[in-house]
Structure 1
Amino acid sequence: MTTATDFALKAYSLGWKAALPLLKFNHRLRDGWEQRILSGGLPAPAHLWIQAASGGEAYLAWEVLKNLQSPLDETLRVLVTTNTLQGYQTLVRAADEINAGKKGLAVQPWYFPFDAPDLMDRMAAQVRPRTALILETEIWPGFLRALKRSGTKILLANGRMTTKSLAGYLTWPTLFRELAPDAVMAVSETDARRFGTLFGRERIWVMPNIKFDRMGDFTPLPRKDNPLKDILPQNADFAVFGSVRKEEETPVRKLVAGLMRKRPKTILGLFPRHMHHLDLWRKCVNETGVSWTLRSKLTGPAEPGTVVLWDAFGELVPAYGLAKAAFVGGSLAPMGGQNFLEPLTCGVTPVTGPHWKNFAWVGREIIDSGLAVEAGDWRDALDGLAAILSSPEPRKTVAARARAYIKDRRGGAKAVCKRLADFINND
């Protein structure tokens, strides 16, 4: 390491020492606290360490694990870590499935330690991974330094990087160039150029996004098997507002009020992206003047003309499976958008706002082909939703078109597994 890098890491370490006592009071970090600070024991050694930041990346890790075969003459031990409770719960389910399958893998889920260099040094010394897989954009200096010091090969895959993130990393260009992964597999040429600017173009490749693999096998769930069937009447005009963000509260409020005026018999399911902002959305719905209830209060079918504020986790996809129309949030404010492949694979034509750059990897063709509707503002979104509710395309037709679109874009998980096998075998 150069003198400048050593200085940067010392300053970084001091920052963590100051921050750790305060982080204990953050309610989102209470889950897994002992694992985050390595005070409650350590994980078992592993050949492969996979880091998946939160719930979305955890599903990508699950997809990789489903495609991964041990390249060794022994069981491949895999440690999978995450930063969030939702991610941890997903990884526990993934580990249960993979371990029960007896396919030559032994998977252990764990919370990702805080990136204080001394904690990461302890973790890497215990795990001793031959290879580490970082999913999307988890560029933690303490983590990378500890892996490099332990001689671990590092692969960053399904890589995405915004211009804002790149600008932040470039405040310490020497540091991140020295800590660069051995290989980066980006999901687009644009992302590849950004990673190349940070790490050097010689180690960058482009790959299909693993999210296409995960979505490719989805089919609409029959109503009789849908866990929400008893609270949503048969043939109801049910619209879902999925993963709405607090930054778009004003246009979403106008969109809710407008849709309920245009189609007063609609049942509207409002799903906040972050449950800790539930009070904000209570206030938002109150201001529309329409009738509403909490999902947790429903004991029977929702009444037509009601907004259901969804305060339950894990029900967005089943809700898409019963919806006639869907608005996908994070897109009426410059937040980058949320995943509109989910409603599509459930057989619903999604409406998104203009801000969906985080999902540019899906391809502009999805809009041009009519599989999704792009709205310039909340008024356009209102017109799009009303039109879809008036004449929804058959669910099986939408889902079939979505599968055809996704089919030729799959293969990301297998490409990652091939590179991991090369790294592990060449240890």
Structure 2
Amino acid sequence: MGKRLIDSTLAVYGAAWKAALPLLKLNRRLRDGWDQRTLSGGLPAPAHLWIQAASGGEAYLAWEVLKALKSPFKETLRVLVTTNTLQGFETLTRAAAEINGEKRGIAVQPWYFPFDAPDIMDSMVRHVSPQAALILETEIWPGFLKACKQHGVRVLLANGRMTTKSLGGYMTWPALFRDLGPERIMAVSETDGRRFGTLFGRERVWVMPNIKFDRMVEAGPMARKNNPLKNLIPAKSSFVVFGSVRKQENIQVRKLAAALVRYKPETTIGLFPRHMHHVPIWEKAMNAGGLTWTLRSNMTGPAQPGTVIIWDTFGELVPAYGLAKAAFVGGSLVPLGGQNFLEPLTCGVKPVIGPHWKNFAWVGNEIFDSGLALKGDDTEHVLNLLINILEDAPRRTEITQKAKAYIRDRKGGAKAVCKQVADFLNKV
């Protein structure tokens, strides 16, 4: 794709951003960090390395990278970490506090990822002047990539995942993305690698262990006495977590919850929406199913049997798994690709998912073959699997030990990424 055509395409892209900005300011979620997103409140400090982590999940991956990162210089390695969401920013702020307080040779500054308008990104990259940029998962922003290329910033995309649908979208302008694309891509599976290779060229693509395994290798069950939710969930309660459920599967989840309470009236269900702003959708779904429900934020004492707790507070999914006897992980009852079902395992709970899990194919089929996780063919099958676990729950310590062994054999992603980052920085 010729330079003139790229420039004209990005000019149209920039005009679209300018037209959209007044409307974006009306978006409640984008108001957080507005001054940083638009650079209207100033600019961050210059940095050697810029790490972009789209939201909360990627921010935790960035945290793992920061823990494994070492400065290749005699001077302090300055790192700018950015994200698109409030949850991601809060996570990166905690990560920066930990790294800046405990680790010598690295200084971390969290910031909101600027809007991708080419003029905004050009100002940001020119001022920050990073030697290298690390994109986690799949953050392919034309304005950002163009500014990096223009200012000589080497770009590494790591822990890369790409769906067939995403590839189809990028392939509408393959020459543009190939011209602006990252210098190197580290994908989490051969399948993802082939998709990245189709877009960017196979010579740029490597395969790496998923950093999510690194994050979980040290995890383990929390003692009940230390669990912040212990006063809400009685010790002998048949507590079942529905983790990271998606609005598109609300009918299936509603039926699953109603049937589970009908078969096991002593059951209490903790329903964790994948997106907090969809809580009203889940309230309506529970009403439609004739279920008794309450919001987590309204609870002051123990949950009553037969109640669905709609979790409307952040950061409590893992402690909830620590008190659960069984867990269903959402995004899997309809074709959405699934959500992370390793988290309950590290808490000693055998997860049950539906038939759709392609986004987590990197975990490996061995996890089902070994019985560490269970996969249902449909809603009724998932229900039966949950009931079987409630009636004969495996020992939490046994599940944890097997899960740790499975995860330990697959760790190393953060160190692999840091090695490539050092290579990028040393070659500037």
Q: Do the aligned partners of 1:210 and 1:413 also contact (CA within 8 Å) in 2?
A: yes
Q: Secondary structure at the match of 1:321?
A: helix
Partner in structure 2 of residue 47 of structure 1? 48
The separation in 2 between residues aligned to 1:312 and 1:177, in whole angstroms, is 41
Partner in structure 2 of residue 11 of structure 1? 12
The separation in 2 between residues aligned to 1:66 and 1:359, in whole angstroms, is 24
The separation in 2 between residues aligned to 1:188 and 1:199, in whole angstroms, is 16
Shift of 1:6: 1.9
The separation in 2 between residues aligned to 1:253 and 1:114, in whole angstroms, is 37
Partner in structure 1 of residue 315 of structure 2? 314
Q: Secondary structure at the match of 2:337?
A: coil
Q: How does 1:285-304 map to 2 (within 5 A)?
A: 285-304=286-305
Residue identity in the other structure for 1:161 = M
User: Would you say 1:217 and 2:226 are equivalent positions?
Assistant: no
Shift of 1:102: 3.3
Shift of 1:191: 0.6
Q: Secondary structure at the match of 1:25?
A: coil
Q: How does 1:252-291 map to 2 (within 5 A)?
A: 252-291=253-292
Deviations 1:195-241 (A, max 9, x none): 11111111110000000000111010000110000111012100000
Partner in structure 2 of residue 401 of structure 1? 402
Shift of 1:62: 0.2
User: Would you say 1:133 and 2:134 are equivalent positions?
Assistant: yes
Q: Secondary structure at the match of 2:162?
A: coil
User: Would you say 1:24 and 2:20 are equivalent positions?
Assistant: no
Partner in structure 2 of residue 360 of structure 1? 361
The separation in 2 between residues aligned to 1:291 and 1:165, in whole angstroms, is 39
Shift of 1:113: 0.2
Residue identity in the other structure for 2:392 = S
The separation in 1 between residues aligned to 2:301 and 2:288, in whole angstroms, is 25
Q: Do the aligned partners of 1:237 and 1:267 also contact (CA within 8 Å) in 2?
A: yes
Shift of 1:291: 2.0
The separation in 1 between residues aligned to 2:4 and 2:304, in whole angstroms, is 67
User: Would you say 1:150 and 2:151 are equivalent positions?
Assistant: yes
TM-score normalised to the size of structure 1? 0.99
Shift of 1:147: 0.6
Residue identity in the other structure for 2:162 = M
Q: Secondary structure at the match of 2:323?
A: coil
Q: How does 1:375-394 map to 2 (within 5 A)?
A: 375-394=376-395
Q: Do the aligned partners of 1:71 and 1:421 also contact (CA within 8 Å) in 2?
A: yes
Partner in structure 2 of residue 67 of structure 1? 68
Residue identity in the other structure for 2:296 = R
Partner in structure 2 of residue 189 of structure 1? 190
Partner in structure 2 of residue 349 of structure 1? 350
Gaps of 5+ in 2: none
Partner in structure 2 of residue 229 of structure 1? 230
User: Would you say 1:83 and 2:87 are equivalent positions?
Assistant: no
Deviations 1:287-330 (A, max 9, x none): 22232211112111111121111111110010000000000011
**Total equivalences in the alignment:** 427
Shift of 1:4: 2.5
Shift of 1:402: 0.5
Shift of 1:368: 1.2
Partner in structure 2 of residue 420 of structure 1? 421
Q: Secondary structure at the match of 2:328?
A: strand
Q: Do the aligned partners of 1:5 and 1:174 also contact (CA within 8 Å) in 2?
A: no
Runs of at least 4 residues off by over 6 Å: none
The separation in 2 between residues aligned to 1:27 and 1:356, in whole angstroms, is 31
Q: Secondary structure at the match of 2:80?
A: strand
The separation in 2 between residues aligned to 1:221 and 1:368, in whole angstroms, is 27
Deviations 1:153-190 (A, max 9, x none): 11000000001101100111110011011110000001
The separation in 1 between residues aligned to 2:376 and 2:9, in whole angstroms, is 44
The separation in 2 between residues aligned to 1:381 and 1:286, in whole angstroms, is 22
Moved more, 9-18 or 209-218: 9-18
Shift of 1:11: 1.5
User: Would you say 1:97 and 2:93 are equivalent positions?
Assistant: no
The separation in 2 between residues aligned to 1:383 and 1:345, in whole angstroms, is 23
Q: Secondary structure at the match of 2:185?
A: strand
Shift of 1:392: 0.6
Partner in structure 2 of residue 247 of structure 1? 248
The separation in 2 between residues aligned to 1:179 and 1:297, in whole angstroms, is 49
Residue identity in the other structure for 1:258 = A
The separation in 1 between residues aligned to 2:48 and 2:248, in whole angstroms, is 42
Shift of 1:90: 0.2
Partner in structure 2 of residue 340 of structure 1? 341
The separation in 1 between residues aligned to 2:98 and 2:159, in whole angstroms, is 23
Q: Secondary structure at the match of 1:106?
A: strand
Residue identity in the other structure for 2:12 = A
Gaps of 5+ in 1: none
Shift of 1:425: 1.0
Deviations 1:121-170 (A, max 9, x none): 00001100000000000000000000111111110000000011011001
Deviations 1:9-56 (A, max 9, x none): 111111111111110101110100010000001000000000000000
Shift of 1:8: 1.6
Deviations 1:339-366 (A, max 9, x none): 0000010000001011111101000111
Residue identity in the other structure for 2:287 = N
Partner in structure 2 of residue 411 of structure 1? 412
Identity %: 69
Q: Do the aligned partners of 1:230 and 1:300 also contact (CA within 8 Å) in 2?
A: yes
Q: Secondary structure at the match of 1:114?
A: coil
Shift of 1:260: 0.3
The separation in 1 between residues aligned to 2:291 and 2:61, in whole angstroms, is 39
